[in-house]
Amino acid sequence: MPFLELTVRCSETEQPRVERALEDVGALSVTMQDAHLDDADEQAIFEPGVGETPLWQEMVLAALFPGDADALLLLATLEAFDPGLDWSGASFRKVDDQDWERVWMDQYEPLRFGERTWIVPWNRDLPAEASSDEAAIVRLDPGLAFGSGTHPTTSLCLQWLDALAVEGTLQDTTVLDFGCGSGILALAALKLGAAQAVGIDNDPQALLATRDNAGRNAVGDRLDVFAPADDPRGTYPVVIANILASALDALADTLADRTAPGGRIALSGILDGQEEDLLRRFRPWFDRLHVARQGDWVRIDGVRR
């Protein structure tokens, strides 16, 4: 069955009102995207920070309605529902029904990070280069949670984990993945030699996806997941937080407290230009702070005092 898609541009402050109006007039789903995002760079959607929902200053909301919905009637209903909003820029198009997740997965190729780490869709064959006994292979089905390895923020963390494995730091450790998304980083750490991993995320769908991916990779007994309110606390020799710069800033004390003395930390989800403030924020607790870059994104890593 085809759908009718309505797209409208709005500001961050207007977003809750626009989304509420769309839902109240019968939208089947509402999604958000950065209004300044290039179509060719659709992977640059931010991962949600733990305990927050990141929004852009300007965004495009896309709402799906039944295919037989009347566009003019919808507009009139929206204008009546909230006359203070400007719906004049709204546009409509017909969208064919399809298995969107499967279409995305069919386009996703196996990816290599560092020397040993491979992220491979569950429905794809292993490439020949990943057939060695040394390869750390994560079979992934991201489901509805963001985190596939294609985005530079995730790629930077996977490269860091791979390097830790090469130097022997990961072996038999316990890893904390703060803001785990699909669980990709925790899974990679386990495949690279970690004994246990803990994933924390504020999105229940992310926790489900992480559990599912852990089972798919036969490490379900070594990976525990929690909502932030259920965080078991404790310290960890390896901590990864791939969230947002604002969340990293707000959670600096928490992340420092979770990192064991002498432990290693990686902070990602940082745009180029945001790193200096975060370096100052984390410097009271961490030595050997190092900045790595990939495109417009930055990873900070260091060692807990």
DSSP symbols for 181-216? TTSHHHHHHHHTT-SEEEEE-S-HHHHHHHHHHHHH
Return the number of other C-beta atoms located less than 10 Å from residue 84's C-beta: 7
- pLDDT for the residue 151: 79
**196 Cβ neighbours under 8 A, 6+ residues apart:** 174, 175, 190, 222, 223, 224
**How deeply is 241 buried, as exposed, middle or buried, from its count of CB atoms within 10 A (0-12, 13-18, 19+)?**
buried
Contact (Cβ atoms closer than 8 angstroms) between residue 14 and residue 44:
no
249 is in an annotated binding site: no
Q: What is the DSSP string of 236-298?
A: EEEEEEES-HHHHHHTHHHHHHHEEEEEEEEEEEEETT-HHHHHHHHTTTEEEEEEEEETTEE
Tell me if 202 is assigned to a ligand binding site. Answer: no
> Is 97 within any annotated ligand binding site?
no
* 201 is annotated as contributing to ligand binding: yes
Answer yes or no: are the C-beta atoms of 9 and 85 closer than 8 Å: no
Pairing relationship of beta strands 174-178 and 196-200 according to DSSP bridges: parallel
- Taking alpha carbons only, the member of 39, 17, 154, 153 closest to residue 86 is 17
Structural domains of the chain in order of their starting residue, each with its CATH number: 3-97 (3.30.70.120), 149-304 (3.40.50.150)
Taking only the tens of pLDDT, the chain with its 305 residues reads 688 999 999 988 888 899 899 999 999 888 877 666 544 343 333 444 444 444 467 888 888 899 899 999 999 999 999 889 999 999 999 887 665 555 555 556 788 999 999 988 877 788 888 888 899 999 986 554 455 666 788 999 999 999 999 999 999 999 999 999 889 999 999 999 999 999 999 888 889 889 999 999 999 999 999 999 999 999 999 999 999 888 999 999 999 999 999 999 999 989 889 999 999 999 999 999 999 999 888 999 999 99
Spatial contact of 207 and 186, defined as CB atoms under 8 Å apart: no
Distances (CA, A) of 131 to 48, 167, 249, 276: 34, 22, 41, 41
- The separation between the first and the last C-alpha atoms of the chain, rounded to the nearest angstrom, is 58
| Parallel/antiparallel/unpaired status of strands 236-242 and 3-11 | unpaired
User: What pTM did the predictor assign?
Assistant: 0.71
